[in-house]
């Protein structure tokens, strides 16, 4: 594809991402599946540009408002070309030329917006902004690329670490792989990837993690196809490992979804014992079937629940050694990985979601056997979804006590637990908070609760 045609593809794909409620990566997969004539290099360029627009959306919109532009995919792309790529009006005239498969020619208004953006970009260049989309006059929520409500809430909750973490949420997430020990060792997987030209390094925290050098086509590699590795953020791997699922035990993954953590639990159990993967959405569980087969996992039973209060839960009260509740949440800890998601989550959604989390946690707790553990996790940075949920559960449910994460970590990994990201007024928390700025992972919260054995 010529450069102009790639830009038209960016406009088309970004328009589709804006129009659909599906995750941006799935929209991109569908878009390129219908356009197989687009080569791999062009797909990569188009995708990377679309994600750059998603990550810079608030700041690009702020610049455009000052310059008299519109909040449309075409204007956002023009602003990105001028501010981030240093293109001038002459360059844009050549790229937006109206030829076949290329963007329509620039209007007079668009030309004046480009001129205004270029002029102001030159004026602030001497102020040594860390990012060319930054401007000293931008309000905090624009600078951090977040809805205003979540910016104010997170800055208040995270205190002195807030600015670092919100800046990290702006950045592109690394690609992490989890080595499947049912198939290979970490060294074997690393070597197999290297033979296909993919360099990787051991993770900082998880003993099963490999971090790639840039974005690679992992799905076409031998290591992926033979089940040696799964794509999984290092923080997500740690959540599964802290379940301490051992061979021969009975385990429930209560909100299993597509099965990422289920796979990790099965590997930890060496395919021995029983895992029940539950979800209320049948299509999510169906998506896990191929993954389970590829990973050589045989000890998982998938179960669709009518709701978190399904009669199956009451029937199996006290039956399980470990129950993982990876609760549905705002996903605020993953907003660097899914930048479109933050604009689809409203403050009004939070009350409804926290009520659901409380109901899920209360119901799943019934499954835990005396002496067993309930592990509550989210990929959220918000206190309401994390510490507050655990406190409410303990206040309303007898028979559970908190197990501090640090000694559990020490027993599992024989290393010191990473220093947790602190919430204002919650020093020395027994829980674990992982965060992009502090740990280089997605944001995760983990609480480990043990059911007291009967006298």
Which residues are part of the catalytic machinery? 379
DSSP string, 52-97: HHHHTHHHHHHHHHHHT--SSHHHHHHHHHHHTT---HHHHHHHS-
Nearest to 267 by CA among 186, 201, 183: 183
CA distance linking residue 137 with residue 263, whole number of Å? 47
Burial class (CB in 10 A: 0-12, 13-18, 19+), 177: buried
Q: What angle do CA 73, 74, 76 make, to 5 degrees?
A: 65
CA distance linking residue 202 with residue 186, whole number of Å? 8
The 8-class DSSP code of residue 343 comes to G
CA distance linking residue 179 with residue 200, whole number of Å? 12
- Which run of H or E residues covers position 100? none
CA distance linking residue 366 with residue 363, whole number of Å? 6
Nearest to 107 by CA among 119, 93, 122: 93
The strand pairing partners of 422, in sequence order, are none
Burial class (CB in 10 A: 0-12, 13-18, 19+), 333: buried
- Which run of H or E residues covers position 317? none
């Amino acid at each position: 594809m010529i450069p102009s045609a790639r830009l038209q593809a960016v406009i088309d794909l970004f328009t589709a991402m804006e129009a659909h409620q599906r995750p941006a990566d799935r929209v991109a997969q569908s878009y390129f599946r219908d356009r197989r004539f687009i080569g791999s290099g062009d797909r990569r360029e188009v995708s990377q540009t679309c994600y750059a627009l998603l990550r810079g959306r608030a700041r690009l919109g702020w610049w455009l408002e000052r310059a008299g532009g519109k909040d449309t995919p075409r204007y956002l792309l023009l602003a990105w070309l001028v501010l981030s790529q240093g293109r001038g009006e002459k360059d844009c005239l050549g790229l937006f030329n109206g030829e076949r498969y290329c963007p329509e020619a620039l209007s007079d208004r668009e030309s004046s917006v480009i001129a205004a953006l270029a002029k102001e970009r030159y004026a602030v260049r001497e102020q040594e902004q860390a990012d060319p989309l930054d401007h000293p006059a931008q309000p905090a929520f624009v600078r951090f690329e977040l809805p205003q409500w979540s910016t104010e809430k997170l800055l208040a909750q995270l205190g002195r670490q807030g600015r670092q973490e919100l800046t990290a949420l702006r950045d592109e997430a690394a690609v992490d792989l989890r080595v499947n020990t049912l198939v290979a060792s970490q060294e074997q997987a690393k070597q197999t990837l290297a033979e296909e030209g993919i360099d990787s390094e051991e993770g900082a925290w998880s003993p099963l993690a490999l971090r790639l050098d840039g974005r690679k086509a992992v799905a076409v590699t031998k290591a992926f196809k033979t089940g040696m590795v799964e794509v999984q953020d290092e923080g997500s791997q740690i959540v599964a490992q802290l379940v301490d699922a051992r061979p021969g035990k009975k385990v429930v993954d209560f909100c299993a979804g597509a099965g990422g953590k289920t796979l990790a639990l099965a590997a930890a159990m060496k395919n021995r014992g029983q895992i029940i993967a539950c979800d209320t959405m049948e299509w999510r569980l169906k998506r896990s079937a191929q993954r389970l087969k590829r990973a050589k996992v045989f000890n998982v039973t998938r179960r669709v629940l009518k709701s978190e209060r399904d009669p199956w839960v009451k029937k199996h009260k006290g039956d399980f050694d470990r129950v993982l509740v990876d609760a549905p949440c705002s996903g605020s800890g993953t907003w660097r990985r899914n930048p479109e998601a933050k604009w689809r989550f409203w403050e009004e959604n939070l009350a409804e979601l926290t009520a659901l989390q409380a109901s899920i946690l209360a119901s799943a707790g019934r499954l835990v056997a005396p002496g067993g553990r309930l592990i509550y996790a989210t990929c959220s940075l918000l206190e309401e979804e994390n510490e507050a949920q655990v406190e409410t559960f303990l206040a309303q449910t007898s028979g559970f006590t908190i197990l501090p994460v640090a000694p559990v970590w020490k027993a599992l990994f024989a290393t010191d637990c990473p220093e947790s990201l602190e919430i204002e007024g919650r020093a020395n928390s027994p829980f674990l908070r992982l965060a992009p700025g502090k740990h280089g992972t997605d944001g995760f919260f983990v609480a480990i609760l043990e059911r007291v054995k009967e006298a």
